[in-house]
Homo-oligomer: A and B are copies of this chain.
Amino acid sequence: MFEEYLTERQVISIIRELSNEMAENYPGIKISIGDDAALFHFSGGDVLLTTDCIFEGIHFNLDTHSLSDVGWKAAACGVSDIAAMGGQPLCVLMSLAYSEPLSEEQIRSLLGGFIEMLETCNCALIGGDVSRSRSGLSLVVTVAGVPHIRGSVRRSGAKVGDLIGLTGHTGDSAAGLYILSKNDEKLRARFPELVESHLRPKPRVEAGWIIASAGASAMEDTSDGLARDLLHICEESKLGCILEERLLPVSQSLVSLAEHEGEDPFEWFMGGGEDFELVFTASEKAFGEISRCCGERGIPVTMIGRMVSANEGSFIVRKDGSRVNIENLGYEHFA
């Protein structure tokens, strides 16, 4: 056991111990923590690479998230980006920075959640970096992955007439954050699945692979909120889209919470991010195949709209027949 607060080298030694336990199951990992760079075997072809960061006070707060939740979330952000290309995550680097020293229990909790998330998708922590920060805790996660043999599903490939699909349902994570920020134990006990959606989001790696297999034309994860992420697809594909509110697969829990609180779930559903669901576009034929394959594996997929030409705009038809421009929904830093 170490003293209460760890030096940087002690932190690294704990990360290394936990990472080595994982790496034993991954013969392709040749060098992990302890050198200037990690080394992994790649059988050739293309490599997917992505990086994502989460900062205390911006993406999480330690009064609502345990360190284990923060670790989980950081890993999920990175893994989800690989899923959104239709790829399989392979290995991960973590850059950890903190302004207050951490105890052994704290670092084990943080890493525990991080590794627990990675283990759900057979992905290993192979390296990283530890540093002091000026304010708060931050984690930057880099994930290398294997693309689908049919190619990676980009944002730019959508065609006019393609159906728009969504895995699972969005808004639950934002609703979970709403509950956490209310600091109301009763509300939290009544909607544990919404809180869980926010604290332990589950990237759709299997669904991403199925969607790529079927030849989807475009895909993105709903990390910034359905509206904004779908807009990225519209912009990259130089198209517009029409969604219909009545098609949106709102979860029963979200409906109940909205009723209980007298809120409209629409903003949560369209604007709330961090669900790590997948929004994609596909031809009718491909959509059918995706629906069947996902259904067989218990993954819900819903058709929520269609791609149209850019001059038709990007909007959602609300239940009352009114149209809302989806550019007015969703979240952007420094907007």
Q: Which of A87-139 contact B (CB under 8 A)?
A: 87, 91, 93-95, 97, 101, 126-136, 138
Decide yes or no: A41 and B46 within 8 Å by CB, A51-B93, A51-B127 being known contacts.
yes
Copies per complex? 2
In the complex formed, the residue of B with least CB distance to A34 is B236
Q: Cα distance A84–B7 when bound, in Å?
A: 24
Q: Cα distance A52–B38 when bound, in Å?
A: 12
In the complex formed, the residue of B with least CB distance to A155 is B35
Is there contact, CB below 8 Å, between B154 and A35? yes
Is there contact, CB below 8 Å, between B49 and A45? no
Residue A36 is within 8 A (CB to CB) of chain B in the complex: yes
Is there contact, CB below 8 Å, between B47 and A39? yes
CB distance from A210 to the nearest CB of B (A): 17
Q: Cα distance A145–B41 when bound, in Å?
A: 12
Residue A68 is within 8 A (CB to CB) of chain B in the complex: no
CB distance from A274 to the nearest CB of B (A): 13
Task: Count A interface residues, CB 8 Å.
Answer: 73
Q: Cα distance A211–B276 when bound, in Å?
A: 45
Point out the residues of chain B lying under 8 angstroms from A130, CB to CB: 333
Is there contact, CB below 8 Å, between A142 and B49? yes
Of the candidate stretches A55-63, A163-171, A189-197, A317-325, the one touching chain B is A55-63
**Complex A-B, nearest 6 residue pairs according to Cβ-Cβ distance, in ascending order:** A44-B44, A135-B135, A37-B50, A36-B84, A57-B134, A140-B140
Q: Cα distance A52–B36 when bound, in Å?
A: 10
- 11 other A-B residue contacts (CB within 8 Å) besides A8-B335, A36-B155, A49-B142: A8-B332, A8-B333, A31-B154, A42-B45, A47-B144, A49-B93, A51-B129, A53-B129, A58-B131, A58-B134, A93-B142
